[in-house]
Structure 1
C-alpha cells in the first residue's frame, strides 16, 4: 500500500484518482502533480516504481499544503472569524449556513432534524 502525506492511497486505482484521497488534492491538482512528476495519467498506483513514488511524495510535500497542515489552517480561519464575531463567524457559532443559502425550507444538514412544535396546527378552511 502506497503512503503519500500520511494517507494510504488505494493501489488498484489510477494515480490521478488515488491522489484525490489526500485532503487538499482534487482532480485538477492531481493532474498537475502527475504532469510535473512525469507520470502517465493511465498508470495505476501498484505499477509505480519506488522512484516515481518518491518523486510524488517530494513534490507534494514541497509545493502543496495537504492533510494536517491544511485542516489546521482552515480551522484556525474559522476560529478567527468566530473570535472577531464577523457575520460568517456568527453563522458558524449558530450552526447555520455561512454562504447565504436559504434556511426557511432547507439547511437540514446544518440545523439538524426538523422538530415539530407542540400545539401548532395547520390553518384549516372555515366551515
Structure 2
C-alpha cells in the first residue's frame, strides 16, 4: 500500500483508480495527474518506484488542492456565505437543501429524522396532557 501525502492508496488496484481515494481527486483529475506525472494509469499502485511517487507528490502539491486544504476552503466558503447572510448561507444555517431542491417531501438527509407533532382533541385530553408534563 503506497503512501502518498499521508494517505494510503490501495496497491493492488490500477493507479488511476487508487488516486481516487484522495479527497478531491475524481476520475478525470486522476487521469490528468497520471498524464502530468508521466505515469501509466493502468499500472498497479504497488509497481510504482520511489521516483514515480515523488513525481506524483510533486504534481499533487503544485497543481491541485486536495485533502485538508480543500476541506478548509469549502468550510471557509460556507462560513462566508453564512456571515454575509446570503440565501445560501441561511439555508446552510437552517440545515436545509441549498441548491433549490424541494422540501415538502424528501430532503431527509439535510433535515434529519422526522419529528411527529401530535394533535390532542378535546378539553379532557388536553388537560390530561398538561397534567402529565
Common topology (TM > 0.5): yes
Distance 1:27 1:40 in 2: 14
Unaligned runs of 5+ in 2: 121-133
Aligned-CA RMSD value? 1.1
Question: Tell me, which stretches of 5 or more residues in structure 1 are unaligned?
Answer: 121-127
Which has the higher mean CA deviation after the structures are superposed, 87-96 or 50-59? 50-59
- TM-score normalised to the size of structure 1? 0.90
Contact 1:5/1:22 (CA < 8 Å) preserved in 2? Answer: no
5 Å-filtered alignment, 1:49-68, equals 49-68=49-68
C-alpha deviations, 1:1-24, integer Å up to 9, x for none?
Answer: 212222111111110011111111
Runs of 4+ in 1 over 4 A off after TM superposition: none
Larger Rg over CA atoms? 2
State TM-score, norm by structure 2. 0.86
1:40 CA drift (Å):
1.2
Higher helix share: 2
Task: Tell me the matched-pair count.
Answer: 120
